[in-house]
Amino acid sequence: MAWISLLIAGLFEVGWAIGLKYTGGFSKLWPSVWTIAAMIVSLVFLEYALRTLPVGTAYAVWVGIGAVGTAILGMWLFGESRDLARIVCLMLIVAGVVGLKMVTPGIR
């Protein structure tokens, strides 16, 4: 259950990172409300995952999900660069996240 909570936390991290783009410096009410709500939900699920998972692993996976998800949505929503080097670097982050999942002892 901790890994599922961590995945949810990471997805909400993507949501608030992308949401920041739409808040206009927190001057737009509803994008700001949704962004702050996503921040809170993300942290609540991260805290739940940290009850079981090592903090270093959980934090690295949370940040990895957020970074890769935000970069992919940035490409899709905002036309950000899709060059090969960027894709390869994102794949390395994914490999690191998967590796951390595989080597975390006793938690499968």
The whole-number average pLDDT for the span 72-101 is 96
What band does 104 get if pLDDT is binned at 50, 70 and 90? confident
What pLDDT, on the 0 to 100 scale, is given for residue 107? Answer: 53
Domains of the chain, by residue range, sit at: 2-103
Specify the pTM.
Answer: 0.90
**What separation, in Å, do the N-terminal and C-terminal C-alpha atoms of the chain show?**
10
pLDDT at 108 over 80: no
Instruction: Annotate 8-69 with three-state secondary structure.
Output: HHHHHHHHHHHHHHHCCCCCCHHHHHHHHHHHHHHHHHHHHHHCCCCHHHHHHHHHHHHHHH
What pLDDT, on the 0 to 100 scale, is given for residue 76? Answer: 97
The whole-number average pLDDT for the span 86-104 is 95
Per cent of the chain over pLDDT 90 is 94
